[in-house]
Homo-oligomer: A and B are copies of this chain.
Amino acid sequence: MLSNACKYAIRSILYLSIYSDKTNKIGVKKIAEELETPQPFLAKLLQQLTKNKLVSSTKGPNGGFYLSDENRENSIWDIVENIDGVKKFNQCFLGLSKCEDANPCPVHYIAAPFKNKILSDFRDKSIARFTSEIIDTNKVLSLKDYDALKLD
């Protein structure tokens, strides 16, 4: 459904949303370690996300990546669009080119409600809101993170 790249991107942004701000930037190395993702690959992703205004960055000592208030107004869906494109997400679970209510594949009525739920979760909430719900309901972004939150 989502590529690795997209999963990394989503988790990175949520991570930055929780742990960074203008005065507390985080380097790729740290992010990659915390989320247990391949570092150079993540660097490329963050580069792309920065170019597309989903993430902010500054160079130099104490530089790194962070989410600005504007960045936090975006949605998870914006990330998906940016990395995978919407096409991939909308594809039929069994690969039919035009699976819909009128000519549903054998699992259409199971898959469609799920997709709609995910979609509204991804599209209708800002990163800011999404993040506060993560914190409120004790969700995790990585196993390392999980332990960290537990110890808080």
Q: Which residues of A contact B (CB under 8 A)?
A: 1-2, 4, 7-8, 10-11, 14, 36, 93-99, 103-108, 110-111, 114, 117-118, 121, 130, 133-134, 139-143, 146
Contacts and interface: CB of A to CB of B under 8 A. Distances in A.
A118 B114 CA distance: 11
A103 B7 contact: no
A107 B121 contact: yes
Contacts of A98: 143
Contact of A95 (B7, B108, B118, B146): B7
A143 to B, nearest CB: 6
A110 B105 contact: no
Given A114-B110, A118-B110, A105 B4 contact: no
A106 B130 contact: yes
Contact of A142 (B8, B96, B142, B146): B96
